[in-house]
Structure 1
């Protein structure tokens, strides 16, 4: 029987996953329908389809992890754990890259650039997006699939049942195998995170310069470009906060062995990990005017349907 704190955390994560499924499914459906209708797709919509699909799969892996806590017999084989771990890391890294490219695209479209290199990127970013997405999948596979050849003793412990706490071999093997696992995880997250931070810095710097330039105008004049800057900055900063929180939580989950008795740490880590893809999908709907309009129309249609059913 699982401890109560884990059962409560699983219920919370289940709600988060349902919200995430609905949010990411909505984003994928809206953009896919528009793509089919217009027979063309913008770079931002293409990224959103890739991102929401990867987030959908990511939340499936979160549910599988919870499943492995409760139904341990199903996940006894080390090969099953390795495959599950590789898929989780691949989708996690790919999702992070897709989010990064989305904010890079927003940044390049919003800021005014004078440097030759940035100007060339601004002119070619739309044509580059499909190749950047495919490149992200390739890089994510390189930083995740080597996990299939790493066998942490945590996996062997669950499959053999030999988990002696006083075993020196167990401790050293655990350290070396998890060192490789964490190295792969950090390698896959480092560059997109740095790129996201640089993007947020460029947006803040662009907003500061634009605000100084507009100070000579009447105070009552509201520049729409400032609103665009603020929306983009709030969106990317909220994404960074969510992902870094999830990043720390996933590290704690990775370091948790089958002998760990710190159920509170595991419970909190599960809730934080599950919150990232769900909350960020809601943020994407709020900041995207097309998605927000589609969501309002869906809510109105749903309310009209309920009123007709009551009548």
Structure 2
């Protein structure tokens, strides 16, 4: 058990390192452009907020995993772990809501519809980005507060003390309360998920209408609007797929409290969960021209330095 846990922890550290590099790169490039130009575009503000939220989420997941493997006594105390649960729920909601804001922004900036309400919102989208992000932050804090209220101080002790018979019934009640609370709070994240899904479907509809219009005009080549549609759809669909994987990993970690090998199941679930904030960052980098060009410059520069050192 200890050997398996440590191997999984090493893999988690590798995934964490990749995720930190990708998200830190997004935040750093956008921050440098902000300082240079003394202003920041709406898309860069959303991407930076998303990257920062995912950096925090990565740290929380790795911290929880490390404490479970390396410091099990700390894991058994409720006060410290309730704080981790709170920040995990907070960063989880922030990451999902900011990704949804990105999907909505893509939709309004790229889609082509002529409904008056859509045109009005398309015209105002840049003005409400900052307020929307602050609103997501406030809502995420509010929705995360029940984690600190509904968890008993000695619940996590049940994870490490399943062998004590006199705690069996008590722990079973606490596990049920904990699991139901976590599932309820994370069910809330399905709402932004469906909003992103709707944005994706509307982008498909917009691309279909645009392609049809191009065919009627006897223009067979792909124009910039079509390229923008495809790029936005790739970013949104990658988020949707990775979020599904992340959500399944959460279910594994939550239901693990009813499994015989709780610790191993929790670590395995967190290992899968790390794929979402780590992998999506590089998809966003490759899908953004400015970030992609900056990434290629850094890549070739590092490759050149390594090549010279070998010489």
Is 1:84 matched with 2:84?
yes
Q: Aligned residue for 1:178?
A: 179
Matches for 1:1-311 after TM superposition, within 5 Å: 2-4=2-4, 6-70=5-69, 71-151=71-151, 154-157=155-158, 163-164=164-165, 167-187=168-188, 189-218=189-218, 220-257=220-257, 260-261=260-261, 265-311=265-311
Shift of 1:25: 0.7
Cα deviation for residue 158 of structure 1 reads 5.2
Unaligned stretches of 5+ residues in structure 2: none
Looking at structure 1, the residues matched to 101 and 291 of structure 2 have their Cα atoms a distance apart, in angstroms, of 19
Residues 163, 185 of structure 1: CA spacing in aligned structure 2 closer, same or farther, 3 A cutoff? farther
Q: Residues of 2 paired with 1:57 and 1:238: CA distance?
A: 21
The separation in 2 between residues aligned to 1:209 and 1:182, in whole angstroms, is: 39
Task: State how far apart, in whole Å, the 1-side matches of 2:295 and 2:270 are.
Answer: 28
- What is the SS of the residue equivalent to 2:257? coil
TM-score normalized with structure 1 length: 0.92
Q: Deviations over 1:200-220 (max 9, x none)?
A: 111011111111212234464
Residues 308 and 28 of structure 1: CA distance in aligned 2, closer, same or farther (over 3 Å): same
Instruction: Quickly say closer, same or farther: Cα 1:163–1:137, change in 2 above 3 A.
Output: farther
- Alignment CA distance shift 1:60-1:69 (3 Å): same
In the alignment, is the contact (CA less than 8 A) between 2:53 and 2:94 conserved in 1? yes
Q: What is the CA distance between 1:128 and its match in structure 2?
A: 0.2
Q: 1:259 Cα shift? A: 6.4
TM-score for both structures, normalised by structure 2: 0.92
CA pair 211-167 structure 1, distance change in 2 beyond 3 A: same
Gaps of 5+ in 1: none
Q: Distance in 1 between matches of 2:8 and 2:160?
A: 26
